[in-house]
Structure 1
Amino acid sequence: MNSRTLVLTHGCSLSNLPLFVAVGEGLFADEGLRVEAPYFDDIGSTAELLATGVADLGTAGFTQPLIDACRPDPPILVAGSGLMGVFVLTRDPVSDAAALAGHPVGTFRADPMEVLLHDVLAAAGLATSDVEIRYFGVLEDAIEAFTAGELAALTLAEPYAGRVRAAGGHVLSDGTDVWGHPFPDTTLVASSRFLREHPDHVRAAIRAMLRAYDLIVADLPAAVRHAQKFFPGYRLDELVDAVGRQPSMVDIRDLTATVYGRWETLRSLGLVPADVDLPLHAVNLDLLNAELAARTTAKENAR
């Protein structure tokens, strides 16, 4: 189906598990797609690969399609990947985010983690300007700063959040308090051009992700083994435990309101133009709907 190798962009959390499993099990190849998924430890890699056109397909934070909606060839959210599993962690036990006023807080620019931090602070009556924001690009740098006592709080996703919690970090928010339960973290995206020119490729990728989800549900430890190379130094049992807090989910048709609901936060953070209306075109689940309908029909015919 595809003569060239597609570079699959992806994030650095376990919400990308369906993509890792689909690559590891050869499910993309089964669907006629030649792909490669490089290792990343830089949070900004996903957005950069999409923006430069190096990657036309992959997984990205659920807010990325909104942030990039005004670009000439923006990423379009076409399916889900993983849910929740993002946290605001503190060094000391804190029950009210207002206690962070004036203190240094680490996060990652233009990532759902930054969006979560904004909304947690806003729920406590604070603006991001009321804390000392420190932006990081590399996860290990942020964790080292937090461990060294340079930060009062840090946003992290699984499995990194789980290890920091085990070392004494405290959960101020797991996102469900401001975004509800469940909410998407990582989603499958395709560039607008790629979706327009190769809808069959995108649908094949969705089909591979759905098949990967089935494998995850059937045997989680076996599925997680495909993710281990993306999380060097993490034991299999650690990753399996972390997936419990950041479960996979490709069918996120019921969660589009949560995606669109972050628009005002993105405006407040200066990540989108203040004078642009909510870009409804940033989400297109037509191919996901079609593939799920085909699955249902196939199951009914098999009875």
Structure 2
Amino acid sequence: MNTTRTALAVGAAATLLLAGCSGSEQGPAGGSTPTGSRGSAVSAERCAQNEAAGTVTYVTGFQYQASASILDPVAAQALGYFDDVCLDVEIQPGTGQTAQNAQLVASGTAQLSSIAGNGDVLVNVSNGVDVQAVAVFGHVPVATLMTEPDVTDLRQLEGTTLGHKGALPVTIEAMLRAAGVDLSTITQVKVGYDPNVLVRGQVQSLTGYKSNEPLTLAAAGEQITTWNPEDYGVPGSMATTIVNPRFLAEHPTAVEDFLRAQLRAYDHCEQHAEECVADAAELARAGYDTEHNVQVWQTETKLVDSSLPPGQVLGQVDDTAARTEGEFLVQMGQIPAVPDLTQVLVPDLVPSLYAEGQLVWPVP
């Protein structure tokens, strides 16, 4: 693990003891039992400021999947961390449509939301949607392309059929072009969410997410090869948190302490994945694959930790990387120009929550 993350874990443990707040205990259903008391991590003045924000609505990226920026807010709620900082948070499940999430936040229907990555923020802002990015967890594309093991060169896909969820992800397109593939020879088809279309031979390549479809196929004993955009120099990011700019301006402490609680819960869930997934399962109720979602979380946290730039803290918005991603989107024809990043990104917010690499909890 990156040394900054290690320091965070040690610091979180130290401040936990100093604050006299134990993490959590296992409840009867295997999830978290809230500890601490209302306002235990903030002063009375800051508590009043946060309560003045009213109900803070957070929309997840996709349902209650155990992904970064989804499982951690769910856990923060279950562990009582939001209550500790006097925040009344309502978590709503998203549909996976990033444009919809951005519009909900821009309209003020929601105050914060998870969105796939910085690229999605830039595309939405370029389309006139007024949101700001306040946190980003992964600095690597989460998309992947799956093939059967007999494909050893992406140019073998010429003349074959590629399956996607509705559109070819721009990072996958860039990877194929970088590998010298003539995309005009590939037939693209929309498929459902069953990755077995690949192993049944209905498609010869299939787009997906590193933390989802490959895990499903591996659990079924299927052998596949995954092709990742970052191996071809393609930039990307994952698990970005966006905010309504007006809400941030009017209630800065509420946004700060939402992220503070989220980051603390992220650290807790790295050590207690099963407990946190049980919290999400309780919200999702029927049909929630607990074992698979533990694997989703563990896969994504590895991606987050391994891609954290040296010297940065978890959640920090990297404006240089965001510009690189924006320039890539311009090159790929996704946006006409890189938006004014000073109006889109809030890079100093998350670092302000740390002291010497350690998340500050409780708030002084």
Q: What TM-score, normalized to structure 2? A: 0.67
In 1, the alpha carbon distance for the partners of 2:86 and 2:183 equals 46
Partner of 2:258: 205
| Distance in 1, Cα, partners of 2:184 & 2:113 | 33
Taking the aligned partners of 1:176 and 1:231, their CA distance within structure 2 comes to: 36
Alignment partner, residue 341 of structure 2: 280
Provide closer, same or farther for how the CA distance between residues 33 and 207 of structure 1 changes in structure 2, counting only shifts above 3 A. same
Which of 168, 179, 195 is the equivalent residue of 2:248? Answer: 195
1:218 and 2:294 correspond: no
Q: Of 47, 52, 71, which residue of structure 2 is paired with 1:17? A: 71
2:341 maps to a residue whose letter is L
| Percent identity of equivalent pairs | 22
2-structure distance, mates of 1:86, 1:190 = 24
Secondary structure of 1:69 counterpart: helix
Query: Cα distance 1:61–1:297, how it changes in 2: closer, same or farther (>3 A)?
Result: closer
Residue 107 (str. 1) matches residue 169 (str. 2): no
Gaps of 5+ in 1: none
Superposed, 1:175-254 pairs within 5 Å as 175-178=229-232, 184-228=237-281, 229-230=283-284, 233=287, 235-247=289-301, 251-253=314-316
Q: How many residues align?
A: 291
Shift of 1:156: 1.7
C-alpha change, 1:9 and 1:224, in structure 2 (3 Å) is closer
Closer/same/farther in 2, CA of residues 70 and 86 from structure 1, 3 Å limit: closer
CA contact (8 A) 1:4 1:34 kept: yes
Distance in structure 2 (CA, Å) of the matches to 1:133 and 1:55:
35
Deviation at 1:279, TM superposition (A): 3.8
TM-score (norm 1): 0.78
Superposition pairs for residues 30-41 of structure 1, below 5 Å?
A: 30-40=84-94
Gaps of at least 5 residues in structure 2 are 1-50, 306-312
Q: Distance in 1 between matches of 2:360 and 2:77?
A: 24
Structure 1 residues 268 and 144, CA, compared in 2 at 3 Å: closer, same or farther?
Answer: farther
Where 1:245 maps in the other structure, the secondary structure is helix
Q: Any conservation in 1 of the 2:145–2:172 contact (CA below 8 Å)?
A: yes
Secondary structure (helix, strand or coil) at the match of 1:106 reads strand
CA–CA distance in 1 between the matches of 2:359 and 2:208? 40
Seen in structure 2, the aligned counterparts of structure 1 residues 9 and 164 have a Cα distance that, compared at 3 Å, is: same
Structure 2 CA distance for aligned equivalents of residues 268 and 143 of structure 1: 30
1:289 aligns to what?
351
The residue aligned with 2:99 is 47
What amino acid does structure 1 have at the position aligned with 2:204?
A
Picking from 177, 190, 206, the partner of 1:154 is: 206
Once structures 1 and 2 are overlaid, which stretch shifts more, 58-67 or 161-170?
161-170
For 1:64 and 1:38, the matched residues in 2 are separated by: 20
Cα distance in 2 for partners of 1:156, 1:210 equals 27
Residue 253 of structure 1 aligns to a residue whose secondary structure is coil
Letter in 1 for 2:102: L
Whole-Å separation in 2 of the counterparts to 1:213 and 1:175: 26
2:133 equivalent among 70, 77, 94: 77
The whole-number CA distance in structure 2 between the counterparts of 1:224 and 1:93 is 36
Q: Is the 8 A contact 2:270 2:298 kept in 1?
A: no
Bigger-Rg structure (1/2): 2
Q: Write the distance in 2 (CA, Å) between the matches of 1:58 and 1:33.
A: 16
Kept in 2: contact 1:104–1:134 (CA 8 A): yes
Deviation for aligned residue 1:109: 5.8
The 1-side partners of 2:359 and 2:149 are apart by 53
Alpha carbons of 1:252 and 1:39: their partners in 2 closer, same or farther (altered >3 Å)?
A: closer
- Partners of 2:227 and 2:219 in 1: CA distance: 16
Q: What is the letter of the counterpart of residue 259 of structure 2?
A: I
